């Protein structure tokens, strides 16, 4: 039961990813060949692998993480706060190393859960795969090899909303609108991240967008539990 999970044991996270290179032309011949094959599976109508390269960031083999934001709910003397911290860097190895060290230092207990929207299909495996690519040892919460499904400490707001329906997908934007939660999709949305990163070179804008997603995921969990939303003044960024 969701209401039996201690809120302070949930680590809310969101990631932002981009293609490894600004455009298809910068790929080596080998990587062009590999992307061409991948694009062949996902292309619709007359889409070319060059046109589809802007979507490469959603695949861990062809993209990289540029921001991870996480949030933790705390209650002190009956007052609830939500603390948000972000890891953002052009150097993915540095970003992932810092994130991994935080998980290893503070969140090694089996009591903790990682929570994201569509996290089981995207965020959690993406982070783990990119850590392996970067030669980073997986922290406990992401090292799921050999564990039984019920031993994996991952919570997914999309899966909770599905109620076992395998063919239904609902975006975070739809759910926040449905539940009256301020939408995280303001100036930009996920489809703009690659452009903002490679063309605008605006890491701060990406961080702000990622942080809004984390707050929205926490608000959604509170709604699923039948509880009041966080007061915007209770959200602390660091």
**What is the reported pLDDT for 141?**
94
C-beta separation of 61 from 52 below 8 A: no
Q: Please, how many CA atoms are within 13 Å of residue 192, restricted to the half-sphere of its CB?
A: 15
Which segments in the chain show pLDDT lower than 50?
Answer: none
Q: Please report where in the chains the tokens 């019920």 appear, as a residue.
A: 150
**What is the reported pLDDT for 76?**
81
**What is the reported pLDDT for 135?**
98
C-beta separation of 176 from 184 below 8 A: yes
**What is the reported pLDDT for 190?**
83
**What is the reported pLDDT for 184?**
67
For the chain, what are the domain ranges? 2-20+62-237
**What is the reported pLDDT for 56?**
96
C-alpha torsion 25→27→32→38, nearest 10: -100
What does pTM read for this prediction?
0.95
Q: Please report where in the chains the tokens 């003044």 appear, as a residue.
A: 233
**What is the reported pLDDT for 75?**
87
C-beta separation of 63 from 56 below 8 A: yes
Of 16, 58, 22, give the one whose Cα is nearest residue 38: 58
Is 3.30.420.10 the CATH number for 2-20+62-237?
yes
């Amino acid at each position: 039961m969701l209401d039996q999970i201690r809120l302070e044991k949930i680590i809310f996270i969101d990631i932002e990813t981009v293609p490894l290179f600004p455009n298809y032309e910068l790929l080596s011949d080998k990587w062009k060949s590999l992307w061409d094959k991948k694009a062949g599976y996902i292309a619709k109508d007359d889409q070319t692998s060059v046109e589809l390269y802007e979507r490469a960031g959603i695949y861990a083999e062809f993209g990289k993480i540029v921001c991870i934001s996480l949030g933790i709910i705390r209650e002190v003397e009956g007052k609830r706060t939500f603390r948000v911290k972000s890891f953002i860097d052009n150097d993915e190895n540095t970003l992932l190393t810092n994130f991994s060290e935080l998980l290893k230092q503070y969140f090694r207990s089996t009591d903790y859960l990682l929570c994201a929207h569509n996290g089981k299909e995207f965020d959690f495996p993406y982070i783990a795969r990119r850590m392996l690519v970067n030669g980073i040892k997986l922290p406990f919460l992401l090292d799921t090899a050999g564990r039984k499904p019920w031993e994996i400490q991952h919570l997914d707001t999309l899966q909770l909303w599905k109620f076992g329906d395998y063919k239904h997908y609902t975006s975070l934007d739809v759910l926040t609108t449905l539940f009256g939660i301020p939408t995280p999709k303001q100036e930009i949305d996920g489809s703009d991240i690659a452009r903002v990163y490679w063309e605008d070179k605006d890491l701060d804008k990406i961080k702000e967008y990622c942080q809004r997603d984390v707050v929205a995921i926490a608000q959604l969990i509170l709604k699923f539990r039948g509880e009041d939303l966080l007061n915007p003044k209770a959200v602390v960024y660091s």
